[in-house]
């Protein structure tokens, strides 16, 4: 069994200390694989002067060249022929700039175990049938957005009686229809089966706010859960309102805080992060987080803010072993959280500098590159 398989066979998703050696080994195997199969990745490692064999210790994880998410938006990086990549996901880029990331069967298999272990940790696995309210996109074949896929995937953690969607696909476009959701929600409450919400925190907030404005207060059946998730970005923006959202959920749906579970992940780092009961995102064994100094890009100790660098050996089809996000964050020592988990937890504090490239000089350069010798 390779190091990767051993890593994903570990039952406790937060047993980081015990799995340190196997994580490093799996990273080295992955790095070597990418180096052999992705010509662009090889160019980068050669150019920087890093060899996969250098990746032999925890410290060396910090030396491994990382790829910024911007690179995946510009280049289609792949380490496998297309036919071996059954799942292709894209980030929900708003400016027409999005990353394309492929996942091979092995990664999906490992990902399934990861999801099941995280779901078990947050007591989401159940055989009791439930009704699902998806405050997100209805699946259809032209939509590769990862948020949609994870939302749909989450409806298999407990058998689904029915699913209803806030963003419905009709006549070739998505339209938001909260009325439709509310109608179904009333029916679900009457039916008496547990209800599970899954979706963006913002939509959840809108729906519940709308219900409260109309003085609609429901008591969801026992065993109901509210799952919140989206990209990193949504997570960061909504963070300020977190407690307000929890209070709203309690008032409007009668669901207590312990049954509210938040997730996050990114297309370029498809590791499922679920929050602990204290709503902190502890780093699971499948992943490592390095915070890097904003000027030198060297790793900094826990507690210091910097750029968020995410590492995982899970995916072979795309060189995602060390990815640099454009988020700013802090990694806190696990002992600072009262939930009992020992692995550090990540707090996102913002995004890098300018929100988008707002420059007129850059535009002129594009054509000059083509024109000048």
Instruction: Give CA 353 to chain center in angstroms.
Output: 22
CA distances from 189 to 47, 193, 213, 217, 263 (A): 60, 7, 19, 11, 25
Residue closer to other proteins, measured from CB, 74 or 140: 74
What minimum distance in Å lies between the beta carbon of 46 and other proteins?
8
What minimum distance in Å lies between the beta carbon of 240 and other proteins?
14
Q: Structure tokens of 114?
A: 């990861």
What minimum distance in Å lies between the beta carbon of 38 and other proteins?
11
CA atoms of 306 and 351, how far apart (whole Å): 10
Q: Where are the alpha helices (DSSP H) in the chain?
A: 3-9, 20-37, 39-48, 58-61, 69-74, 105-121, 146-153, 178-191, 201-213, 232-238, 242-253, 361-371
What minimum distance in Å lies between the beta carbon of 333 and other proteins?
21
What minimum distance in Å lies between the beta carbon of 327 and other proteins?
9
Contact in structure between 66 and 294 (CB atoms under 8 Å)? no
Residue closer to other proteins, measured from CB, 68 or 254: 68
Residue closer to other proteins, measured from CB, 194 or 329: 329
Residue closer to other proteins, measured from CB, 10 or 44: 44
Contact in structure between 260 and 226 (CB atoms under 8 Å)? yes
What minimum distance in Å lies between the beta carbon of 99 and other proteins?
13
Residue closer to other proteins, measured from CB, 219 or 359: 359
Residue closer to other proteins, measured from CB, 45 or 101: 45
What minimum distance in Å lies between the beta carbon of 171 and other proteins?
14
Residue closer to other proteins, measured from CB, 250 or 351: 351
What minimum distance in Å lies between the beta carbon of 313 and other proteins?
21
Instruction: Give the β-pairing of 173-176 and 195-199.
Output: unpaired
Task: Name every residue whose Cβ is closer than 8 Å to that of residue 88 and which is 6 or more positions away in sequence.
Answer: 100, 101, 102, 103, 144
Q: At what angle do helices 242-253 and 201-213 cross, to 10 degrees?
A: 50
- The residue ranges that bind other proteins (CB under 8 A) are 40, 43-44, 46-48, 67-68, 70-71, 74-75, 95, 294-297, 305-307, 324, 326, 328, 350-354, 356, 358-369, 371-373
CA atoms of 110 and 303, how far apart (whole Å): 31
Residue closer to other proteins, measured from CB, 18 or 36: 36
Cα-flanking dihedrals φ and ψ of residue 55, to 5°?
A: -85, 75
CA atoms of 164 and 189, how far apart (whole Å): 14
């Amino acid at each position: 069994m390779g190091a990767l398989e051993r890593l994903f066979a570990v039952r406790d998703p937060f047993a980081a200390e015990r799995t340190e050696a196997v994580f490093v080994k799996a990273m080295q195997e992955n790095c070597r694989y990418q180096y052999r199969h992705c010509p662009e990745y090889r160019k980068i490692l050669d150019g920087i002067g890093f060899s996969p064999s250098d990746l032999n210790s925890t410290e060396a994880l910090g030396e491994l060249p990382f790829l910024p998410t911007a690179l995946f938006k510009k280049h289609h990086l792949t380490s496998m022929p297309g036919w071996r990549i059954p799942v292709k996901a894209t980030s929900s880029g708003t400016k027409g700039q999005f990353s394309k990331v492929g996942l091979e069967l092995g990664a999906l298999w490992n990902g399934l175990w990861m999801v099941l272990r995280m779901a078990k940790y947050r007591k989401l696995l159940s055989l009791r049938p439930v009704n699902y309210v998806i405050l997100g996109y209805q699946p259809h074949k032209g939509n590769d957005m990862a948020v949609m896929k994870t939302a749909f995937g989450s409806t298999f953690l407990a058998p689904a009686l029915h699913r209803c969607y806030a963003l419905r696909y009709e006549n070739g476009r998505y339209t938001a229809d909260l009325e439709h959701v509310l109608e179904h929600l009333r029916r679900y409450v009457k039916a008496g089966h547990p209800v599970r919400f899954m979706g963006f925190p913002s939509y959840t907030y809108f729906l519940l706010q709308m219900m409260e404005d109309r003085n609609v207060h429901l008591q969801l059946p026992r065993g109901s859960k509210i799952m919140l998730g989206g990209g990193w970005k949504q997570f960061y923006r909504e963070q300020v309102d977190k407690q307000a959202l929890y209070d709203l959920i309690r008032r409007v749906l009668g669901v207590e805080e312990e049954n509210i579970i938040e997730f996050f992940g990114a297309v370029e780092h498809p590791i499922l992060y679920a929050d602990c009961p204290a709503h902190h995102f502890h780093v699971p064994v499948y992943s490592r987080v390095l915070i890097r100094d904003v000027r030198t890009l060297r790793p900094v100790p826990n507690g210091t803010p910097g750029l968020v660098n995410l590492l995982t050996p899970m995916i072979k089809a795309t060189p995602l072993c060390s990815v640099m996000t454009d988020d700013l964050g802090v990694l806190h020592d696990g002992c600072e959280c009262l939930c009992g988990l020992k692995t550090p937890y990540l707090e996102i504090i913002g995004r890098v500098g300018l929100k988008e490239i707002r420059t007129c000089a850059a535009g002129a350069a594009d054509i000059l590159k083509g024109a000048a010798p």
